[in-house]
Amino acid sequence: MRRKDREITRIEDILSIVDRAKVLRLGLFDDNFPYIVPLHFGYEYAEGKLIFYMHSAKEGHKLDLIRRNQNVCIELDCDTELISGGDIPCSYSSSFASLIGRGLAEIVDDEQEKVRGLYLLMKNQTGREFEITTQMASAVAVIKVVVCDFSAKSKPKA
């Protein structure tokens, strides 16, 4: 990371960014060009790894790409706000907090893990706990991304 003064290293602060973010951008390999898709997500942190769950239609381009190459990149951000530079265009900036990570994606087959992933997704997105049934889970695909390599940074509003 170039700007070490913006780096966040405490896991509690990193997880706070993940909690405040509501959209995860999933970067996939698509031949000669990257393919990035914004997704709602749920997550858990275990044994130094961030484990994200997203839902999807049962067929589609992102699932095809994951089947071809499981290496992915994720990006989350929150607290984004314009910082005015007044009459000087080059003085404008933005406050933010963000996380970027690399990991492996998989399409979850296990019904109980799908249920857990969807439960975490709904809890993260709504703050509420819902009962998710295997029948509900069977209607969608669930993508799991295990991120072992991640970094976070922020530029708070002054």
Above 60 in pLDDT, residue 1?
no
Residue 64, amino acid? D
Distance CA 138, CA 114 (A): 8
pLDDT higher than 90, residue 119: yes
Residues in contact with 131: Cβ distance below 8 Å, sequence separation at least 6, in sequence order: none
Question: How many domains are there within the chain?
Answer: 1
Eight-class DSSP state of 140: S
C-beta of residue 39 within 8 angstroms of C-beta of residue 54: yes
Model confidence band, residue 93 (pLDDT cutoffs 50, 70, 90): confident
- 158 pLDDT higher than 80: no
Mean pLDDT for 7-28 is 94
> What's the CATH number where 67 sits?
2.30.110.10
Q: How far is CA 154 from CA 13, 52, 70, 121, in A?
A: 10, 21, 28, 24
Q: What is the pLDDT of residues 31-48, one digit of tens each?
A: 999 999 999 999 999 999
| Residue 17 and residue 8 in contact, taking contact as beta carbons nearer than 8 Å | yes
What is the share, in percent, of the chain residues with pLDDT greater than 70?
A: 95
* Better pLDDT: 109 or 85: 109
Provide the domain limits for residue 88: 4-155
